[in-house]
Amino acid sequence: MDPRQRPRLIEIIQNLRERITEARANGWLGEVEGLQVSFDAAMAKLNSLKRAPTDGRPQLVDLGMPVFTDDAPRPARDREGPDNGP
């Protein structure tokens, strides 16, 4: 998420808080649940912005090393047989 959108995200969070309060006051339990899901997602985005570097440069991400096992099927050209050699 673009860090410049942080003020807008804060507005959205505040609006969601107000809507949750209104829904609770009116006993709209289904509405409360849906709004709470949106609120939690918005808070997670805000927290990720707090952890994100602010220098604007892309960051490296460790994807790990792939693991190859002997159990993986081999292509036909690599199998032994009458047409593929010993």
What's residue 73's pLDDT? 65
Total count of domains within the chain: 1
Query: Is residue 53 within 8 Å of 20, Cβ to Cβ?
Result: no
Residue 15 CB coordination number (10 Å): 14
- Per-residue model confidence as pLDDT tens for the chain (86 residues): 788 899 999 999 999 999 999 999 999 999 999 999 999 999 999 998 887 665 666 666 677 777 777 776 666 666 665 555 55
Residue 11 lies in a domain: yes
Does a structural domain hold residue 13?
A: yes
Domain that holds residue 41: 3-51
